[in-house]
């Protein structure tokens, strides 16, 4: 049940009278340990609630901001088919944002509060969306690599301990597969095209490879939240485990396309049964995260403009509904 009456949350957050906090916490962790789900009205430690609010809302913001780099190509898609597909994909990203905002709202934060955190820059979103899409091949590379990395991240969250988040992820993962496949198909078409098209595909791979690897977040040694999130079963695999999995499945796909990943150290290691790869430039990741990526300002400005210019619509719709209600009340 998504509804929980925001007003009742205050009470739920507090420890019921006479029950000791440690006992509640032990019962909560016990439920998680046996893979029971936590639902909105259940007692949960405040840190669990805050961690989920942060993670789910940032995930939602990523979907919404993620509409921008690809939206850039809707009017210039090379064929009507590609245009219809791209519109459907971008609309899906909007839908995914809505599922996730819904799930976050069950934890006691309002939709407007989340928007405000995004627009003020207080909330983060995935650093990947601060890169530009200069060519059509970037749309292909995003679908193949960025959505591929997202799927890798998201599938384990389908089993997350928080019910509404897990359910939203199940819906999202079902839809995400189309995104990745259409991206790969764009890359395949370009790779099999003229020399100029093949080059365009290679350059897009060069641009998106490293940022895609960074999508999995800091290395395990640097990651502050991993241990606690894994104990709470919000997270099921570490950043480095997922990154390795992504490299292992993506390198052969690049080979199939006849393209080269931009890392001379990528090499199959038969002993480890994994592809080795070179060191990641975390200074770039941190710069983008701090707001200094190629498109950070542009992305936030686009969201602020959309919010501000939509204000009169939100107010007018509310006023109209109010008038209709008053009118039908008088008639009755």
Using CB under 8 A, list all residues that contact other proteins.
1-5, 16, 39, 41-43, 88, 91-92, 95, 98-99, 102-103, 105, 110-112, 115-116, 119, 167-168, 175, 304, 307-308, 311, 314-315, 317-318, 320-321, 324-325
**Identity of the residue, 6 or 227, whose beta carbon is nearer to other proteins in the bound complex:** 6
Minimum distance of other proteins from residue 268's CB (angstroms): 38
Minimum distance of other proteins from residue 68's CB (angstroms): 18
**Identity of the residue, 265 or 317, whose beta carbon is nearer to other proteins in the bound complex:** 317
Minimum distance of other proteins from residue 79's CB (angstroms): 22
Minimum distance of other proteins from residue 175's CB (angstroms): 7
**Identity of the residue, 199 or 323, whose beta carbon is nearer to other proteins in the bound complex:** 323
The Cα 311–Cα 301 span in angstroms is 15
Minimum distance of other proteins from residue 102's CB (angstroms): 5
**Identity of the residue, 199 or 297, whose beta carbon is nearer to other proteins in the bound complex:** 297
**Identity of the residue, 249 or 321, whose beta carbon is nearer to other proteins in the bound complex:** 321
Minimum distance of other proteins from residue 200's CB (angstroms): 30
Are 215 and 128 in contact by the 8 Å Cβ rule? The answer is yes
3-class SS string, the chain:
CCCCCHHHHHHHHCCCCCCCHHHHHHHHHHHHHCCCCECCCCCCCHHHHHHHHHHHHHHHHHHHHCHHHHHCCHHHCCCHHHHHHHHHHHHHHHHHHHHHHHHHHCCCCCHHHHHHHHHHCCCCCCHHHHCCCCCHHHHHHHHHHHHHHHHHHHHHHHHCCEHHHHHHHHHHHHHHHHHHHHHHHHHHHHHCCCHHHHHHHHHHHHHHHHHHHHCCCCCCCCCCCHHHHHHCCCCCCCHHHHHHHHHHHHHHHHHHHCCCCCCCCCEEECCCCEEECCCCCHHHHHHHHHHHCCCHHHHHHHHHHHHHHCHHHHHHHHHHHHHHHHHHHHHC
**Identity of the residue, 265 or 318, whose beta carbon is nearer to other proteins in the bound complex:** 318
**Nearest CA-CA partner of 277 in 238, 239, 246, 253:** 246
Minimum distance of other proteins from residue 249's CB (angstroms): 25
Minimum distance of other proteins from residue 205's CB (angstroms): 30
**Nearest CA-CA partner of 277 in 179, 223, 331, 209:** 209
Tokens 């988040």 map to which residue?
Answer: 165
**Identity of the residue, 85 or 103, whose beta carbon is nearer to other proteins in the bound complex:** 103
Are 72 and 133 in contact by the 8 Å Cβ rule? The answer is yes
Minimum distance of other proteins from residue 75's CB (angstroms): 21
**Identity of the residue, 286 or 305, whose beta carbon is nearer to other proteins in the bound complex:** 305
**Identity of the residue, 298 or 308, whose beta carbon is nearer to other proteins in the bound complex:** 308
Residues found in the chain: 332
The Cα 253–Cα 57 span in angstroms is 32
Are 79 and 92 in contact by the 8 Å Cβ rule? The answer is no
């Amino acid at each position: 049940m998504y509804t929980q009456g925001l007003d009742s949350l205050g009470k739920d957050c507090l420890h019921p009278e006479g029950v000791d906090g440690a006992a509640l916490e032990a019962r909560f962790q016990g439920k998680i340990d046996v893979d029971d789900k936590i639902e909105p009205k259940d007692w949960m430690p405040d840190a669990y609630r805050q961690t989920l609010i942060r993670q789910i809302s940032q995930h939602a913001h990523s979907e919404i901001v993620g509409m921008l780099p690809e939206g850039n190509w809707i009017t210039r898609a090379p064929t009507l088919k590609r245009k219809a597909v791209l519109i459907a994909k971008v609309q899906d990203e909007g839908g995914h944002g809505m599922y996730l905002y819904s799930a976050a709202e069950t934890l006691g934060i309002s939709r407007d509060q989340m928007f405000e955190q995004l627009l003020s820059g207080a909330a983060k979103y995935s650093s990947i969306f601060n890169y530009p899409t200069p060519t059509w091949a970037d749309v292909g590379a995003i679908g193949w690599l960025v959505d591929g990395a997202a799927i890798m991240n998201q599938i384990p969250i389908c089993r997350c301990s928080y019910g509404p988040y897990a359910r939203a992820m199940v819906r999202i993962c079902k839809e995400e597969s189309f995104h990745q496949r259409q991206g790969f198909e764009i890359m395949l078409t370009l790779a099999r095209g003229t020399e100029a098209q093949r080059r365009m595909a290679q350059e897009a791979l060069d641009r998106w490879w490293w940022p895609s690897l960074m999508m999995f977040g800091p290395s395990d040694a640097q990651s502050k939240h991993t241990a606690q999130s894994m104990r709470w079963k919000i997270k099921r695999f570490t950043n480095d485990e997922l990154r390795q999995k992504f490299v292992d499945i993506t390198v052969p796909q690049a080979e199939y396309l006849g393209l080269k990943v931009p890392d001379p150290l990528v090499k199959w290691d038969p002993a480890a049964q994994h592809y080795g790869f070179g060191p990641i430039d975390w200074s770039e990741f941190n710069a983008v995260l701090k707001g200094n990526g190629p498109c950070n300002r542009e992305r936030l400005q686009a969201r602020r403009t959309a919010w501000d210019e939509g204000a009169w619509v939100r107010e007018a719709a509310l006023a109209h509904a109010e008038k209709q209600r008053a009118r039908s009340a008088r008639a009755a």
